[in-house]
Amino acid sequence: MQEIFDSINFDFEHLYDIADNKTKRRINTYIEGWKEQGLLEGYFGMLASKIYNRTRVKNSEILELLIYSAYIEEQSRLNEFEQSTFKELVNHYYIEGAKEVNKNKASSVIPETILLMILSMPNARGYVYEDYLQATIKYNTDQIYRQAVICLQQQNNLEIENNAFQSIIKRQQNTKLCINEDKVSGMVDDTLIGFNNMAKIEGIKSLAKEDDAQVEFWAVTDENSTEMCQSMNGKRFYINKENYFDRYWGETKKELKIMRVRVRGLVPRCQFAPNFTPLALLSFNN
């Protein structure tokens, strides 16, 4: 990001002027490089294409695109590691689910079709991970761009190490993943909870073919647990049959009320009120 800031050769007075030919040629070269790397997708690809094909482009548009590219390139470097981690954990919980049914017949590898299905599913908050990444990158870009404009307007140097930029970056990082001693939160954590629960369910389904096969939900029932968690603790559910049960339901704590619910099999992404922790699937009973 600092290299990008150092490449800016205009001040606030010329921020919204048309970029000179040298700058336009330079940005076109960058865009061609991003295309070769396969990075021109989604909104970033549309923005780059629009700038590449136009003769007259404002300095402000180029600044936005360059900031955007920093996040796109960073995520590109992380993709392989993230996907490898997701697949490893999903496969682990798939095996754990199968072991709860029959330790002697547990599969060692999750089928590719099921793996891809799980990785494309929304998490407990309703987000598909890839869609979340694209939306977050756009939002993060807008934040850094606005702060850069403020710095230029105040005639300050664009220094990524200054407090204003660092405060923004820290918040952005914690939104994706925050580890505070033994507490973990953020979108990556939410996503893995959903992936792992679904993988365990699929592992159970792979061996539990009988109609009467059941699972039992265990919840933490300490002083911080909600009424919903407490009411669900210990309940058993059929894997391949209709389930009828009562549970708390509502968008807010004030709206919570007991409702009769019917679902077929296991549906891990039921509606949860804000700040409620989804129950973990822990025990198989046949």
Whether residue 193 is contained in a domain is answered as: no
End-of-domain residue from the set 137, 166, 184: 184
Q: Is residue 192 in a domain? A: no
Cβ atoms of 71 and 43 within 8 Å: the answer is no
Q: How far apart are CA 195 and CA 217, in angstroms?
A: 17
Same domain, 84 and 146: yes
Give the span between the Cα atoms of 77 and 74, in whole angstroms: 5
Cα distance between residue 68 and residue 72, in whole Å: 6
Residues 164 and 37 in one domain: yes
Residues 76 and 129 placed together within one structural domain of the fold: yes
Q: Which amino acid is at 272?
A: F
179 and 238 fall within a common domain: no
pLDDT of 233 higher than 90? no
Residue 93 has pLDDT above 50, yes or no: yes
Share of the chain above pLDDT 90, in %: 45
Higher pLDDT among residues 211 and 121, named by residue: 121
> What does pLDDT average to over the chain?
85
pLDDT for residue 59: 96
Q: Alpha-carbon distance 13 to 11, whole Å?
A: 5
Domain endpoint, select from 184, 200, 218 = 184
Q: What is the pLDDT of residue 264?
A: 82
Q: Which of 149, 167, 184 is the last residue of a domain?
A: 184
pLDDT, residue 268, reads 57
Distance CA 283, CA 234 (A): 10
The pLDDT value given to residue 267: 67
User: For tokens 């199968």, what's the residue?
Assistant: 98
**Residue 276: what pLDDT?**
32
Q: Which of 71, 86, 76 is nearest to 120 (CA)?
A: 86
Q: Does residue 226 form part of some domain?
A: yes
pLDDT of residue 211: 67
Domain count, the chain: 2
Per-residue pLDDT at 237: 85
83: in domain: yes
pLDDT at site 121: 83
Q: Tell me: do 225 and 177 sit in the same domain.
A: no
pLDDT band per the 50, 70, 90 thresholds, residue 240: confident
State pLDDT tens for residues 28-74. 999 999 999 999 999 999 999 999 999 999 999 999 999 999 999 99
Is residue 220 located within the same domain as residue 270?
yes
CA distances from 115 to 60, 91, 190 (A): 42, 8, 18
Question: Using CA of residue 236, residue 241, residue 247, residue 253, what is the dihedral sign?
Answer: positive
- My answer on whether 172 and 230 are in the same domain is no
User: Could you give the CA distance from residue 126 to residue 146 in angstroms, rounded to a whole number?
Assistant: 29
Residue 87 sits in the same domain as residue 175: yes
Where does the pLDDT of residue 277 fall: very low under 50, low under 70, confident under 90, or very high at 90 and above? Answer: very low
Query: Are 8 and 117 members of one domain?
Result: yes
pLDDT confidence tier of residue 127, bands split at 50, 70 and 90? confident
Residues 77 and 179 in one domain: yes
Q: Does residue 61 belong to any structural domain of this protein? A: yes
Report which of residues 144 and 225 the model is more confident about: 144
Q: Let me know whether 216 and 151 are in one domain.
A: no
The answer to whether residues 107 and 244 belong to one domain is no
Q: Where are the alpha helices (DSSP H) in 123-177?
A: 129-153, 163-176
In this structure, what is the dihedral angle of CA atoms 146, 148, 149, 153, given to the nearest 10 degrees?
A: 140
The one-character DSSP state at 255 is: G
The pLDDT value given to residue 213: 74
User: Is residue 195 in a domain?
Assistant: no
Tell whether 201 is covered by a domain: no
Which pair of structure tokens corresponds to residue 139?
Answer: 């939002």
Tens of pLDDT, residue by residue over 79-92, are 999 999 999 999 99
Write down the pTM of the prediction. Answer: 0.76
Statement: residue 282 has pLDDT above 60? no
- Residue 184 is predicted with a pLDDT of 84
pLDDT score for 124:
66
Domain carrying residue 249: 210-285
